[in-house]
Structure 1
Amino acid sequence: MSNLKQAAKRLSEQITDYLQQKQTVLVCFQVKINNVDLLAWLKSQTAYPQFYLNFRDKTKILAASGKVRAFSDLDAAQEFIEQYDYPLVGGLQFQGYGQFVLPQFLLVQSENSTALNCFVEGADSASTALAALKTLSNTTPLSPLPKQIPLCTERRADRQTWCDWVNQALFEIRQGKLSKLVLANETRLHLKQSINAYDFLAESEKYNQGCYHFLWAENPNSQFVGSTPERLFVREYNVFLTEALAGTAPVSDDPQENQRQADWLLRDEKNRNENWLVVQDIAQNLRDLTETFEVGELELKPLRKVQHLLRKIRADLAAHYQDAALLNAIHPTAAVSGLPQQQAKMILSKIETFERGWYAGTFGVMSKTDAEFCVAIRSAFIESHRIRVFAGAGIVEGSQPLEEWQEIERKAAGLISLFAKNQ
């Protein structure tokens, strides 16, 4: 296997030959290289968009930069995959806007090696790739985050406003319009020292374990990053894995208290019901796409600041499955929106005073043989000296406004504590 400099040279020779033959077809040149720090590599790249995904349950990391093709339409993305059998990376925002790309460079790292893929289509694409190869081997060391007290902290909803939002949701539930509504808040922190998104995510990978870690950047001025515990789905051929992650209790530095909270969470009827609503929603949405549907036992998902109830779900897909159909059917789940889904989204647009955008959306990779997507919660926009952090809570009958406020503050602290003093 080669290093990045050797790989760049080999790719340059292949692309030059492609140009000399005046080819126009879409091709993929691949070189196996020794493993490198993909966040440090992505930090030094200048082509956009940029994509990064460190998988939760397997030793696999993706990093991508630049684009050869882009799709905002999910069906068009699916048609491309069916025609070319190349993977696409990207995702869907909460309200369903899509952005999938075939990147110029896609690095796929496993435990022992990394596959460096370079996609080229026509002379212009090949010339762009050749220019990018000059800096392909660059990496920029990741740095510790400066600990600081934010100059200013603003919340879209302060505690009283949040309690009002929860009471509005409870009113809708009691009127029979909803069984669940997932409210979210946005916290804006203004800092003296700017934060680098790649350093931020590297720090989160250290401390927020048991998560997917992702980055999406359409330009150098704003990066959306997160460390999410929640899987949307995994597909391997026709085997489909998803989960219901809902119901929350705090985690502290006291192991005995954490155990008491865990025991309470497993027994608490309100949290168990919240989780089961997600299971029912997934089952309903997938009923026409699956041949079997199995729900696992209730278990715990412990994290750094909170712990959740989790039910794993396995299904066998019916013939002619496609990821576009699966995404349309399952996203967004009741774990991030509510039930019934369309009614919940409409009410959220009236209560929340901000656009969720990528928050509670989904990011991942899809191909003919397999796909995997996470749910983009526990996330933030990094914009130099400003950080916008998002956190949400599921509201059902029995929810208490102040308890839900404490829950979203704990969830947001999973990211804010990485750079803010006294968090």
Structure 2
Amino acid sequence: MRFNPIEALRQQLDTLCHADKTGFIRLTTPCQVDNLMGWLNVQSVYPRLYWQARDTHAVECAALGAVKAFDSPAALQADLAALADAGGQQPDYFGGMAFDPGAPGWEHFPVCHFVLPRIELKRDQSGATLSLNLRFDDRGPTAEIAQAYACLDALVEEQPLPHLQPLVYQREDHPSQQEWVAWVGKVTHPDHLMHTPKVVLSRETCLATPETPNPWALLSRWQAGAADCFHFGVQLTPHEAFIGCPPERLYQREGRHLITEALAGTTRRGRDAEQDLVLADELLADKKNTLENQCVYQQLLSQLEPLAHHIQMGEAHTVKLRSVQHIRRLIHAELHYSVTDQQLLSVLPPTPAVGGVPRESALAFIRQHERHQRGWYSGVFGRISHASSDLAVAIRCAHIGPQAIRLYAGAGIVAGSQPHEEWQELDTKIADIMSLLGMG
């Protein structure tokens, strides 16, 4: 007889009904799964979230439903602290934040939204587990258990993801290339550079189409060609999705140890290994690109200084992605004992790699000129827990709605930036997903 993980969790829940219940409880059973996104795609419970960090052999996570949801880092931190004080098991929270809390965002994506999921499917090198999460400290046990049974009853077996078909679409860029040239001219004007040496301008490429692709099928294909990247997807409602394969880490925290990075400065990939190396060497020697990266790491160091000690910055090196190469510098720090994820999220984003330097004057320029809404593009997405957290900067992403796909890309504008070269860089940054949509 085939092992049924849902029935195994139901039996554990039956036993839990007769036990004393406090705090957070996770019920877990082993399971077999071929494709986590294929499993996620056929479930009827929302929200649906997917997360895999950038590191080799990182745990792959799919999550469903919400035991609790949080609309601010402060509310999330209060829950983390309450459960840590209570002891016992500690949950993972998944979610994200918008680029600019002070600007209008996407209609169905709050400024901040993290969830303690009801169901978690996780897979690592040792295999897969299916977990059911419950909370008993601030809710009636009868209702909580009933909701848990209902969620288990709604689960269905995974199915193969649908095939992607080439899209018929109409493309419109916001801003237009003519507007972009004017923006870059304003940012690089000597008077502007005196007080704002870097502004990261972005473009929204809207692909209007009568039939949008399945977001999980698209993310699965994208992930296969995006090594050394984070992979995420979220559906808060059935009609919209936000997916991405970003290369940039906001921060990783293991206890008090923090790793962040300055990822800025871009060139294309070469036709072969020899040309690739030449382009990488030219990138590291290029004044404009090294200035762009310097703006990022100098601000990160100044932001971390009051929060940490033993801050160390690594050497500049190149990161090779499928279509582009970037300059990256890793930063390691030991956080002061009292520093929380709430403080890190209030200080670090938006990073100078997606906003600019100084932050407030760069944001003022962006708010004044960009008419498209960035929403969660260039915001934050990832996992937070008491023991450790890992969050990505939400770039190289797509917002998929009922009749349109919106792709986003940005470029850091500093002294020496050429508008036509920066526009070409935007096209290079969306080349991977455009090719998956049959448009490359």
1:300 correspondence with 2:318: yes
How far did residue 173 of structure 1 move? 6.2
**Between 39-48 and 123-132, the greater mean CA deviation after superposition:** 123-132
User: Which stretch has the larger CA shift, 230-239 or 12-21?
Assistant: 12-21
The answer for the alignment partner of 2:63 in structure 1 is 64
> 1:106 corresponds to which residue?
120
Residues 3-402 of structure 1: pairs in structure 2 closer than 5 A: 6-19=4-17, 26-59=24-57, 60-84=59-83, 85-96=90-101, 97-121=111-135, 122-148=141-167, 150-171=168-189, 174=192, 176-402=194-420
Say whether the 8 Å CA contact 2:206–2:405 is kept in structure 1. Answer: yes
* Counterpart AA for 2:219: L
Q: Distance in 2 between matches of 1:253 and 1:296?
A: 29
Contact 1:228 1:375 survives alignment (8 Å): yes
Q: Is the 8 A contact 1:35 1:112 kept in 2?
A: no
Structure 2 distance, partners of 1:295, 1:362, is 22
Deviation at 1:205, TM superposition (A): 0.8
How far apart are residue 295 of structure 1 and its match? 0.7
**1:385 offset after TM fit, Å?**
4.0
Q: Unpaired runs of 5+ in structure 2? A: 84-89, 102-110, 136-140
Contact kept in structure 2, 1:173 and 1:179, CA below 8 Å: no
Over the aligned positions, Cα root-mean-square deviation in angstroms equals: 2.0
What is the CA distance between 1:125 and its match in structure 2? Answer: 3.4
Q: Per-residue deviation at 1:369?
A: 0.8
**Letter in structure 2 aligned against 1:70:** A
Task: Give the aligned residue type for 1:80.
Answer: D
Q: Displacement, 1:117?
A: 2.1
SS of 1:155's partner is strand
**Distance in 2 between the 1:337 and 1:306 partners?**
20
| Cα displacement (A) at 1:323 | 1.1
1:100 aligned partner, one-letter code: F
Q: Secondary structure at the match of 2:390?
A: strand
Conserved 8 A contact 1:146-1:193 = no
**More moved, 254-263 vs 296-305:** 254-263
More divergent stretch after superposition (394-403 vs 154-163)? 154-163
Distance (Å, rounded) in 1 between the aligned partners of 2:159 and 2:182:
46
CA distance in 2, matches of 1:207, 1:278: 27
Select between 336-345 and 381-390 the one with higher mean Cα deviation: 381-390
More deviation, 86-95/329-338: 86-95
8 Å Cα contact 1:74/1:324 also seen in 2:
yes
Conservation of the 8 A alpha-carbon contact between 1:194 and 1:385: yes
Stretch of structure 1 that moved more, 251-260 or 136-145: 251-260
CA pair 24-323 structure 1, distance change in 2 beyond 3 A:
closer
Moved more, 69-78 or 159-168: 159-168
Q: State how far apart, in whole Å, the 1-side matches of 2:180 and 2:35 are.
A: 41
Q: Distance in 2 between matches of 1:56 and 1:172?
A: 39
Structure 1: distance between partners of 2:407 and 2:133: 34
Mean CA deviation greater in 94-103 or 171-180: 171-180
Q: Which moved more, 1:331-340 or 1:412-421?
A: 412-421
Structure 1 residue matching 2:205: 3-state secondary structure: strand
Q: CA deviation at 1:367?
A: 1.0
TM-score, normalised via structure 1 length: 0.94
CA distance in 1, matches of 2:81, 2:123: 24
Size of the aligned set, in residue pairs, is 419
Structure 1: how far apart are the matches of 2:229 and 2:363? Answer: 26
Deviation at 1:196, TM superposition (A): 0.3
Structure 1 vs Structure 2: percent identity of aligned residues? 33
- Say which SS state the counterpart of residue 203 (structure 1) adopts: helix
Q: State the 1:52 CA deviation.
A: 0.7
Q: How far 1:287 sits from its partner (Å)?
A: 0.8
CA distance in structure 2 between the aligned counterparts of 1:346 and 1:234, rounded to whole angstroms: 29
Whether the 8 Å contact between 2:318 and 2:327 is mirrored in structure 1 is: yes
Residue 73 of structure 2 aligns with an amino acid whose one-letter code is L
Q: Deviations over 1:57-77 (max 9, x none)?
A: 132111111001011121110
Q: Deviation digits for residues 101-120 of structure 1, max 9, x if unmatched?
A: 11111222211122322112
